[in-house]
Structure 1
Amino acid sequence: MGLEPFISRRGFLRAGVLSGSLALAGCLDGSDPVFQEISFEESHLVVRLHDEHAVEQLNLIAPDGSIFSQSAVATGATTVRIEMLDLREGLSSYDHYTPGKYELVAILPERTVTRELDLRPELQVVDVQQRPDATSRSDFAQLEVTIENVGTASTWVYEFAYRGVPSRRVEDRFFFGPGIPYLNKPSQPAEIILGPNETQTYVGTGLPLLFDAESVESCYEVIEATILVGVASGEVIEKSIQISMDGEILLSSRNEYACTDLSIQLIEDNTGYSGDGT
């Protein structure tokens, strides 16, 4: 299942945090006279050049062949930071790079040097549990989902939907525009962004485990459900889970209830997504 992301006029995002060098088509080593290291740091693609380089400008070419960015290199400078990702708190738009193969072109006085960068997020659901800090009926009806990014570029989770859960309010649909964060936690853009080789724990705003007491009132059931994870690059990943209910019944005045003790297991029948939709 895929969604077209809402993209602002700039059309691209800054990238998140990546510890270590970015995977390149061709290794960087001591024999490379230009590039020393290329990595993600927070919101930027960071290019470190050798001390004796003669680079005057760096161009980053997008997968469609257009120029993503042009950066002049000051004399003596060895580090260039290219903004790749922009998630603005409280606003209704953002910028997100298009996953795919980029070309980083170093322009020297008499030649150019090109390196290929493969920028693709790949997210996987690695853990699901009842919200551990729950203190209210609404909290107990929420799930905490841990996501790992095993790709080469950053993105973020913006919302959760569910299939097969008792609450129809969260059934198989997202409420806001793709990419706009709709989460209980985390709340800060720097924490929402999920960089390569990182994990992050998210709690959505929905109440997927809020039961209707008119149909059943029991905390001794086992159900299977599917979590739908909305990703800012426009993809949706799915993960099947088994929920075993136990504990006390917390009944509301609206004849809805949550259970205080849930055990959740991942069902290994789904995979994550790669940023190009494959």
Structure 2
Amino acid sequence: MVGLAGCSRSQADPASPTDIGGGEPGSVFQSLSFDLGDLVIGLPEDHGVSQISLVEPDGTVFKTVRPDFAATTVRIAVADPEIGDSDYVHYTPGVHELVAKAGNQTERRSIDLHPEVAITGIRLNEGGDRLLDSGKVVVRIENTGTAPTWAHDIAFEGAPDWTADTPLSDFPGIPFMGGVSADSAVISPGGRQEYVSNAAPAVFDKEASVECAGEKFEFKINVGIATGEILSTSVRLTAEGNPGPETTGGRFVCDSSRIEVLDG
């Protein structure tokens, strides 16, 4: 399985809460925002709320929390990848309902949890600790929706390095991220993130007769999103510059190669 080899907070937007609006005057839902994968609910002082439930579009309860009466902030994890674990948390996209109980009173608030993600940039990796790391691809993804999500895998079709051609992983809760934190994988609404492929499609074998003299290769990049969505784009790699140092297996990267997107 080909996964995500790297993703750092320095490559992403700052992890600041994303405000998605508050309630009417007198509402117990004073504010609603996202902090990475957590839905943050602001409560008034002396709120008297005994429990808050997030109900999914099909009517099932996603999660129930019981805030302390002195607390004015409650968090519900709605998008939480578990690195290296098949157990993860991700809401079902759609209109949910927040239900708060305070004594004999019940307050309800609809909330649309719907990510809108798109590939907004492709480039070749720069640097790296290993000889062929510059043959990897960096994919930038932006989320213009109303709720967080994450990318869990990058795969290729028709890559110059045939070993990079593998199907997307079937495990969206396991981003193979090279040991980075789960927080680094999440794309908040209004945010963006850069993910580095685990495989290196822009790698050549000395038997392939590539001279780094402007040879062109077209292939497809697929990105798996935790919602089950697959983002795809076609790219052209131009092998330019000089052949870099070879591995013991005779594989190398052209040191001035470039990559461009072919479709929108």
Mean CA deviation greater in 260-269 or 191-200: 260-269
Q: In the alignment, what sits opposite 1:258?
A: 253
The number of aligned residues is: 248
Q: For residue 254 of structure 1, report the CA deviation from its aligned partner.
A: 2.5
For residues 263 and 17 of structure 2, the distance between their equivalents in structure 1, rounded to whole angstroms, comes to: 28
Q: In the alignment, what sits opposite 1:57?
A: 51
Q: In the alignment, what sits opposite 1:114?
A: 108
For residues 161 and 243 of structure 2, the distance between their equivalents in structure 1, rounded to whole angstroms, comes to: 16
Q: In the alignment, what sits opposite 1:209?
A: 202
Partners of 1:18 and 1:153 within 8 A in 2: no
Q: For residue 241 of structure 1, report the CA deviation from its aligned partner.
A: 2.1
For residues 83 and 253 of structure 1, the distance between their equivalents in structure 2, rounded to whole angstroms, comes to: 46
Distance 1:79 1:183, change over 3 A: closer
Mean CA deviation greater in 249-258 or 198-207: 249-258
Give the partner amino acid of 1:192: A
> Aligned pair 1:147/2:145, yes or no?
no
For residues 187 and 72 of structure 1, the distance between their equivalents in structure 2, rounded to whole angstroms, comes to: 31
Return the match for 2:190 from 197, 205, 220: 197
SS in 2 for 1:190: helix
Partners of 1:19 and 1:197 within 8 A in 2: no
Distance 1:138 1:75, change over 3 A: same
Distance 1:157 1:72, change over 3 A: same
Distance 1:70 1:231, change over 3 A: same
Give the partner amino acid of 2:112: D
Q: For residue 124 of structure 1, report the CA deviation from its aligned partner.
A: 1.6
For residues 179 and 71 of structure 1, the distance between their equivalents in structure 2, rounded to whole angstroms, comes to: 23
Distance 1:176 1:139, change over 3 A: farther
Distance 1:115 1:212, change over 3 A: same
- Residue identity over aligned pairs, in percent, reads 32
Question: 1:1-278 alignment to 2 at 5 Å?
Answer: 19-22=17-20, 28-29=23-24, 31-51=25-45, 53-134=47-128, 136-174=130-168, 177-184=171-178, 187-219=180-212, 220-250=214-244, 251-269=246-264
Partners of 1:176 and 1:182 within 8 A in 2: no
Give the partner amino acid of 1:28: G
For residues 175 and 207 of structure 1, the distance between their equivalents in structure 2, rounded to whole angstroms, comes to: 17
Partners of 2:18 and 2:33 within 8 A in 1: yes
Q: For residue 117 of structure 1, report the CA deviation from its aligned partner.
A: 1.0
Q: For residue 91 of structure 1, report the CA deviation from its aligned partner.
A: 2.7
Partners of 2:81 and 2:89 within 8 A in 1: yes
Q: For residue 55 of structure 1, report the CA deviation from its aligned partner.
A: 3.0
Partners of 1:179 and 1:234 within 8 A in 2: no
Give the partner amino acid of 2:203: L
For residues 171 and 53 of structure 2, the distance between their equivalents in structure 1, rounded to whole angstroms, comes to: 31
SS in 2 for 1:169: helix
SS in 2 for 1:124: strand
Partners of 2:38 and 2:78 within 8 A in 1: yes
Q: Which runs of 5+ in 1 are unaligned?
A: 1-16, 270-278
Q: In the alignment, what sits opposite 1:276?
A: none
Distance 1:89 1:20, change over 3 A: closer
The Cα RMSD (Å) is 2.4
Q: Give the TM-score, by structure 2 length.
A: 0.83
For residues 246 and 170 of structure 1, the distance between their equivalents in structure 2, rounded to whole angstroms, comes to: 20
Give the partner amino acid of 2:18: G
Mean CA deviation greater in 41-50 or 113-122: 41-50
Q: For residue 228 of structure 1, report the CA deviation from its aligned partner.
A: 0.4
Q: For residue 104 of structure 1, report the CA deviation from its aligned partner.
A: 0.2
Distance 1:33 1:136, change over 3 A: closer
For residues 201 and 55 of structure 2, the distance between their equivalents in structure 1, rounded to whole angstroms, comes to: 42
For residues 64 and 131 of structure 2, the distance between their equivalents in structure 1, rounded to whole angstroms, comes to: 52
For residues 145 and 90 of structure 1, the distance between their equivalents in structure 2, rounded to whole angstroms, comes to: 21
